[in-house]
Structure 1
């Protein structure tokens, strides 16, 4: 890379949001350069779990409707990436079990099942199978919903990366972006001018965008997870119980995760919290008792002021755009996030839930800082 270069669209960040935005811009005929300080998927997007799951069909809002659109279209989206790259991203629509903790939880699940008939398109359903049909212990029964899917994050990142290369995008890995200004990104190897710059570097988004936003609005939440080889067969579907996911993958392994830690001493180290998570998984599914742990993982996931991603043009800029705050929903929301950012770059007004906007996130910050009235 020379001292000064030019690009049409410059995407900063090779995680799931950056890769999805790059593909969406290519779909609109733009020329894309993607830059990352490390390899693609080197941050939280390279974790071992890979659950793509919806919110319950309850208290419906625009955010849940947007997530439903993204998850319903995921099979076609990932199928196209597989064809473009010649790689299997590990996608499979396998459904999800949710063991119920009480009879009250079962009553709520029955209400959700009725809601899903009206809110979810066919063939997706939220059901309660007979308790004696379950292959694991669940005294109060379990939900089985058919919308959830699995993705193998490292394989998916490799497929997205190879598909970008096959489509003619330029990939600059190992190049850190030091700062951005209107129409230009300063890197360790020189400046890159671009018609539009999309900031999607995960936990690195805050420092780059802070002077436009007035603060760094993102919190780096630590997650710990693992990939294991089960000791006995598991259910073919995902299993979710009280924050714990078990995701069976096509290669015979299973992803288990993840913790959510706001305070930590070692951001990238695993510890007893992961051991506790593995013990909970083994208690839930007998096939995980004595499982061989083949990968222990820890990473930092960016969470914004609101639970939704933060998307839009940076305040006061016509060329700088932000796609950040994926937290736990990055792979599930990525196709939709890519479409929204590509439309914004083109000067269009995409169908985007208001809660995704930068303005709504900044309003949440302002509300938390506002002193109480006497």
Structure 2
């Protein structure tokens, strides 16, 4: 077997996407994960590719915009290569506007979205009745619809990346000797390891619990964001709801009464879901870097080692552009990491 140019440790959203970007550029890649693909927070249920609000613009929001606009082509190429659907769709998102202040703010954002989203997507105030019955109740009768939000099924997306890599001769192995340059995309455990190595906190984990319901809302309806919850219709006739944000936890993968409360709130927001069977309850720890932006770049004082971590709730949405940026860095020595995303921003 030929020596690898790149060794990627971690087979979650970042690791697999970066592997795919490197392979597309002709690099020889090996992917190592003792637990298998999508074993951590990337193996969750929700899959909300939702943008930040179009105001107070900064490099993080610009990067996310560019990544969300890349998503259709990125996931389309992955599906074409491996024959497995990631469940991607840019179907938009609805959010209820429950008072006059929320309406006024949403109308201001209509204007800023037109400027900041460069005409590629819109944020608009609409009548809730236009989306009935698939629309959360709104006290004003109005909702925001944004056409930038997308969705995919996290596990299916990981499976799609694995399949596309397999076509190029790359598999996910439990262990192997490191070869070439090494990328560490190991999520929560990686943040803990880096904090210990550098003797300073660079991030932490936030536990989230989510649930999957048997409810076929249709493949083209928007995702919903109401009462602090994401409700994501998937193409397989299921609907994901989530999630909690738990900073303190004992068991990272156990579910408890908190997800039952999420289910209760979701069915209150959308009475259509009250009779839907719960297919699965899931919990995992999402990695959040100290800067709250993804942490990308060279590992300090470890030549040839790189880091891609801290996806938190936006990892899959950021993955297409992060994959390209990290391939640029490792294969071509081009550093296009935006302000606020570098490893040094978390030290």
Q: TM-score range by the shorter chain?
A: over 0.9
Contact 2:18 2:322 in 1 (8 A): yes
Residue 60 of structure 2 aligns with which residue? 63
Question: CA offset at residue 157 of structure 1?
Answer: 0.8
CA 1:128–1:202: 2 relative to 1, 3 Å: same
Residue 319 of structure 2 aligns with which residue? 334
CA distance in structure 1 between the aligned counterparts of 2:129 and 2:186, rounded to whole angstroms: 47
Residue 150 of structure 2 aligns with which residue? 149
State the Cα deviation string for residues 191-234 of structure 1 (Å, max 9, x = none).
Answer: x2422000001112124434653335221211000110138879
State the Cα deviation string for residues 169-205 of structure 1 (Å, max 9, x = none).
Answer: 24313x3xxxxxxxxxxx6xxxx24220000011121
CA distance in structure 2 between the aligned counterparts of 1:207 and 1:142, rounded to whole angstroms: 41
Question: CA offset at residue 279 of structure 1?
Answer: 0.8
1:73 is paired with a residue of what secondary structure?
Answer: helix
Match of 1:245 among 230, 233, 241: 230
Instruction: Please tell me the root mean square deviation across aligned C-alpha atoms, in Å.
Output: 2.0
Question: CA offset at residue 347 of structure 1?
Answer: 4.5
Residue 138 of structure 1 aligns with which residue? 138
Contact 2:328 2:336 in 1 (8 A): no
Question: CA offset at residue 235 of structure 1?
Answer: 8.5
Residue 164 of structure 1 aligns with which residue? 165
1:205 paired with 2:190, answer: yes
- Between the two proteins, the alignment pairs up a number of residues equal to 343
Point out the structure with max Rg over C-alpha: 1
CA 1:290–1:170: 2 relative to 1, 3 Å: closer
What stretches of structure 1 of length at least 5 have no aligned partner? 176-186, 363-374
CA 1:306–1:155: 2 relative to 1, 3 Å: same
State the Cα deviation string for residues 156-178 of structure 1 (Å, max 9, x = none).
Answer: 111100111111224313x3xxx
CA distance in structure 2 between the aligned counterparts of 1:36 and 1:131, rounded to whole angstroms: 45
TM superposition score normalised by structure 1: 0.87
CA 1:84–1:276: 2 relative to 1, 3 Å: same
1:346 paired with 2:343, answer: no
State the Cα deviation string for residues 249-268 of structure 1 (Å, max 9, x = none).
Answer: 11221010111100123221
TM superposition score normalised by structure 2: 0.94
1:298 paired with 2:295, answer: no
Higher mean C-alpha deviation, range 157-166 or range 24-33: 24-33
Residue 209 of structure 2 aligns with which residue? 224
Question: CA offset at residue 7 of structure 1?
Answer: 3.0
Residue 28 of structure 1 aligns with which residue? 25
CA distance in structure 1 between the aligned counterparts of 2:317 and 2:216, rounded to whole angstroms: 29
State the Cα deviation string for residues 79-130 of structure 1 (Å, max 9, x = none).
Answer: 0000001111100111000112321111111000011111113341001112
State the Cα deviation string for residues 60-85 of structure 1 (Å, max 9, x = none).
Answer: 11110110000011001000000001
Contact 1:212 1:314 in 2 (8 A): no
Higher mean C-alpha deviation, range 30-39 or range 283-292: 283-292
Residue 179 of structure 1 aligns with which residue? none
1:283 paired with 2:265, answer: no
* 1:260-279 equivalence runs, <5 A: 260-279=245-264
Contact 1:232 1:287 in 2 (8 A): no
CA distance in structure 2 between the aligned counterparts of 1:309 and 1:111, rounded to whole angstroms: 28
Contact 1:230 1:287 in 2 (8 A): no
